[in-house]
Amino acid sequence: MSKNHKVLSFGIFFSSLIFASFLAFFGCSDGGSDSSSPVTVSQPKQDGQGGNGKVEEKEKQGGNDSSRTIKLSDAPVGYASVTAQTGTGTTVTTRAELLSAISKGGLIYIKGMIDMSEGMLPSEAGGSTSALDAFVTSNESTFNSYADFKTKYAASCSSSTNDKSSSSPQSLLGSKMWNLNRKYGDKIRIKLNSNTTIIGLKDAVIKGGCFKISNVSNVIIRNITVQDSYDPFPHHETGDGFNAQWDCIAIEDAETHDIWIDHCTFEDTMKYSKVKISDNSEEKWQNYDGLCDITKGAKNITISNCIFKNHDKTMLIGSSSSDVSGGNITIHHNRFLNCGQRLPLTAYPNMHIYNNSYERDSNAYYSQQASIAARYGAYTIIAENNYFGEGVKYCISKSTSPSGKCYEKGNVFTSRNEGTSSLATQSEKPFEISYSCTLDDASKIKEIVAANAGAGCTLAD
């Protein structure tokens, strides 16, 4: 795509804002209106997103072809209030170019595949490469290869070892593990500034990287496949094996707000391996953490039209009983395929989760433990018109000490069987939705997201 094709017309952009300012509706509707919701300004829909259960012709075509388009002038539906950066932008094709561009912010286009690990990603979980071996030996002389580190660190841990604290790990080699973990994180981290818009040109891929969105605002990430935010140096936790540290996208901190993640595909291409600990028993060596985690009080976020697949702990919102002050998060028109849990797991208030598809197929690797789940006492959830497919038993469930409020309506359940883990719901919405949207018929959502969600779109003029 030429740079001329990337220039946003100010006239078109301004016109779309004027048009949006004249539209007003009552909250989300599925053919009617909720009289309890305030009158709000409607946001323009993206191409191919229908309403009232109708799938536009563009959606029916599907596939990674020119029928799926996005525009810089698109606006999110949901709590995020963002403005896309404009101008000719900067096109990047390498890790060095990307890191240089993000230091300045503005409009950034990603073209092709960028490997943030620079050759350190193995071909299978727990394996190594010559680049990873060299990284280990140059940073910790105790080990003569990555395999040597993995074997020795695992053997220094028992099932009760807790190395979760980087400042005071319990194992003999915990401090060396954390040193390698920190330096590897410095290598793969993509730390964004405020007022940054990142758009993937068709078939853009970030491999082995971690987008960090911390203490910033007005950030947009769209149309990128993000693969294998891989942590070769997981830490041991009591009773839970070895756990990874890095997320594909980490949105965090109380000063972080107004973030839009849209039309991205998040996936693992590897599984996990096992290692022998001090008593010669085996535990999992998990190299993946979250796909898109929201923690430490971040707020006003929209996650839309994305695909999350082949992952276990997918989307954590609120990391602990003390991390409950973020919120105002919209999750809509996403496809969760073969994901084990945390879709999301939330402790935050004002969670609007609608028109998502939860699916499993014959390629599922992780057991299905939870879809929408809540814990602690601050959460308020509105779960509307979602589709839960075959094999998805745990649909709306409870986790640790749930005592918040959840409203659910219009969802389709095909295999629901939560038993005692079912989350208590109520008949009234626990909060007012402060934006307008249209609810698609839940019975059509699988078809809609299969055709429209994920990366691979063409950027329209």
Cite the active site residues. Answer: 342
| The Cα angle at residue 291 between residues 286 and 292, in degrees rounded to 5 | 140
DSSP string, 220-289: EEES-EEE--B-SS-EE-TTS-EE----SEEEESTT-EEEEEES-EEE-S---EEEE-TTS-EEEE--B-
Q: Tokens 């006239």 sit at which residue?
A: 11
Q: Tokens 């499993």 sit at which residue?
A: 360
Q: Which helix (H) or strand (E) holds 190?
A: strand 189-191
77 to 138, 145, 195: CA distances (angstroms): 48, 49, 19
Residues 350 and 378: beta-carbon distance below 8 Å: no
Phi then psi for residue 354, to 5 deg, are -140, 150
Rounded CA-CA distance 192/210 in Å is: 11
Rounded CA-CA distance 396/388 in Å is: 10
